[in-house]
């Protein structure tokens, strides 16, 4: 999704209009990217179901983040849940397909010749 923020903003589309995306991309948060990708009505990249899956993936990612893992589970990690990795891959595939379809539906506006 980070790769289409500029495109959406340059095309003046309703997604990624939040002020966070005016700042350096290094400061962007995945939660904001997902929320913004699901905004914009007919121009949204993610539908409600895809957003729910992406939100779940973000929560799972936060749970397994190394620093967070040490804070939340100082005695060692609980069950690693390999099914979450399979679901994460399927969700990533779903999001990538949604982004590609969105790019197809909202191509770069051609500049008119003088």
Q: Chunked in runs of 10, what are the mean pLDDT values of the chain (114 residues)?
A: 92 91 93 94 95 90 66 70 82 94 87 47
**CA–CA gap between residue 58 and residue 54 (Å, rounded):** 6
pTM of the model: 0.76
Indicate whether 41 belongs to any domain.
Answer: yes
Indicate whether 110 belongs to any domain.
Answer: no
Position 113 scores a pLDDT of 47
Position 25 scores a pLDDT of 94
Total domains present in the chain: 1
Indicate whether 49 belongs to any domain.
Answer: yes
Say if CB 37 and CB 44 are below 8 A apart: yes
Position 21 scores a pLDDT of 94
Cα distances (Å, whole numbers) of residue 14 to 43, 62, 71, 72, 88: 6, 28, 38, 37, 27
3-class DSSP assignment, residue 104: helix
Indicate whether 114 belongs to any domain.
Answer: no
Indicate whether 113 belongs to any domain.
Answer: no
Indicate whether 34 belongs to any domain.
Answer: yes
Indicate whether 52 belongs to any domain.
Answer: yes
Closest C-alpha to 60, from 75, 29, 81? 81
Say if CB 77 and CB 69 are below 8 A apart: yes
Indicate whether 99 belongs to any domain.
Answer: yes
Residue 33: domain span = 2-105
* DSSP category for residue 22: G
HSE of 77 in the Cβ direction (CA atoms, 13 Å)? 10
């Amino acid at each position: 999704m980070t790769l289409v923020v500029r495109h959406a903003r340059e095309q003046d589309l309703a997604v990624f209009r939040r002020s966070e995306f005016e700042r350096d991309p290094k400061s962007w948060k995945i939660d904001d990217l997902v929320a913004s990708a699901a905004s914009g009505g007919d121009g949204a990249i993610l539908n409600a179901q895809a957003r729910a899956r992406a939100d779940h993936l973000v929560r799972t990612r936060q749970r397994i983040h190394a620093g967070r893992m040490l804070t939340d589970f100082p005695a060692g990690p609980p069950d690693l849940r390999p099914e979450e990795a399979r679901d994460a891959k399927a969700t990533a595939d779903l999001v990538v397909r949604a982004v590609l379809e969105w790019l197809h539906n909202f191509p770069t506006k051609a500049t008119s010749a003088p």
